[in-house]
A = this chain, B = another copy of it.
Amino acid sequence: MFSEAETDPTLSADEYKPRALRLRTALLKAQYARLERADRSLLIVVAGIDGAGKGQTINLLNNWMDPRHIHTLAFGEPDARENQFPPLWRYWNAMPAKGETGVVFGSWYSRLLRECYRKKFNPERAEALAAQIRRFETMLTAEGVQIVKLWFHLSPQAQAARIERLNASPETSWQVSPDDYKVQKKFDRIRDAAQLALAQTDIDHAPWVVIPSADDNLRTIRCAETILATMKRRAIPVVARVSQQLPRLGPIPDRLGELDYDAHEAKHDYDSELGLLQGRLARAVRSPAFAQRSLVLAFEGQDAAGKGGAIQRVVESLDARQYDITPIAAPAAYEQARPYLWRFWRHVPAHNRVALFDRSWYGRVLVERVEGLTPPGLWRRAYGEINDFEHQLTESGAIVLKFWMAITQDVQLERFKEREATPFKRYKITAEDWRNRDKWDEYALAANEMMARTDLPHAPWHLIPANDKRHARLQVLRAIVSALESRL
């Protein structure tokens, strides 16, 4: 993989100049064409041997292209706040919009490279990290983010010579960092670690390209050629195939149909149990154990099933400074310019906080599926992506609970009519709600499949018969309190 690069190939100035000129024009053209179409973004991952000229090359490419639309995303060690979130959180938040280019220093490979570099190398942990990266990059590709990954490489002799040369002049010595000097002694281990990491993550739709870096001219040309080729590539065939690999299920159980919709709660029992449950919830989220955890609650269900009322009974016992409620509607243009899960990642809670979602990321496999807003290739892939998202949340300390508030058609009709009759509730009911009602069975089918595919031990679905609001609210609170008390 690195054999060519370690021969330290060079390119003469005579060969360089005309190629550089052509590439420069071609890159600018390609960039403008992408900006005009604005259908894909580009992430350039920058990694490699310290002191190989990564920064210098990227600066030059910024000068060749229109730097207003290239965003350098540089990450160091995560700080205390970042450590409260899943490791990929900070990369999600920095995602450029379609048409734009991001250049990532300190990317999601830092953890994998460190793992591969350890003296006590643990192949399973490395493979788990690599698998997560492959899933992440596959998802991004499917959602219109192109990815190319550059590994800057050269021989240890050339590395030493290069940093000596830079250090000799005051004009360039700022480019040399203490880390550059440490490379020599551990060169072989770094190379072996990189070999391992790259081999596990070199996928068709997000390939690694090794850039021979001893010679400024050759490094620049190879880098520019690689980026240009990526910018011009149109098809993403592999990802289309990936989307077909849904796990086979047997016949999907009709969990919605099996619910006991007659369940109800008497007013008196309700009031006293509600108070008790809210008290237990209040104590749980104020316990010292919760200071290292967070709580994510997603509410789904038919229109008028009582999501808002249930949410209200949950937050009644919380301090307003501790929670956020995010109502989810159709994505705005700036949200559509990014991968689907981006707008949910932005609302992931920090430690000691509660995030409630009134509708959620499950819209992908519910409304977007039923209304045909998203092609089947995309929403079918979403089951796996959502499971992965929730898994990352729970891994970083979040307690994730999902509620389906279930009502019957007759009760929905009653509630719609009541909303229309109550002046200040009228805004809650729209023509769309009536249209959705016509597709009752399709929504039920989608909901049943969603629950079959995403009901996981660490992020379970709770199906709540909600014809009786009191019963539904108690059920929701019971589930939250029991999850918190058992896990804290």
Where the two chains meet, the residues of A that have a C-beta atom closer than 8 Å to any C-beta of B are: 25, 28-29, 32-33, 35-36, 55, 58-59, 62-63, 66-72, 74, 103, 105, 171, 174, 279, 282, 286, 308, 311-312, 315-316, 318-321, 323-327, 332-334, 358, 423-425, 427-428
> Residue A69 contacts which of B103, B327, B333 (CB distance < 8 angstroms)?
B327
Q: Name, among A55, A68, A69, the residue most crowded by chain B CB atoms within 10 Å (CB to CB).
A: A68
**A interface SS class:** helix
> Residue A74 contacts which of B68, B315, B321, B424 (CB distance < 8 angstroms)?
B321
A97 to chain B, nearest CB (A): 11
> Residue A320 contacts which of B33, B103, B286, B333 (CB distance < 8 angstroms)?
B103
Q: Name, among A28, A320, A358, A424, the residue most crowded by chain B CB atoms within 10 Å (CB to CB).
A: A320
- A69 CA / B308 CA spacing, docked (Å): 11
- A62 CA / B317 CA spacing, docked (Å): 11
A424 pairs with B325, CB closer than 8 A: no
> Residue A32 contacts which of B28, B66, B174, B427 (CB distance < 8 angstroms)?
B427
Contact sample, A vs B, 13 pairs, CB 8 Å cutoff: A29-B424, A55-B321, A59-B319, A67-B311, A69-B327, A72-B321, A72-B323, A72-B324, A103-B320, A171-B282, A332-B334, A333-B333, A334-B334
A59 pairs with B320, CB closer than 8 A: yes
A320 pairs with B68, CB closer than 8 A: no
A71 pairs with B324, CB closer than 8 A: yes
Residues in B with CB closer than 8 Å to A28 are 424
A32 with B424: in contact, given A55-B321, A62-B315, A63-B316 (CB under 8 Å)?
Answer: yes
A170 to chain B, nearest CB (A): 8
- A68 CA / B311 CA spacing, docked (Å): 9
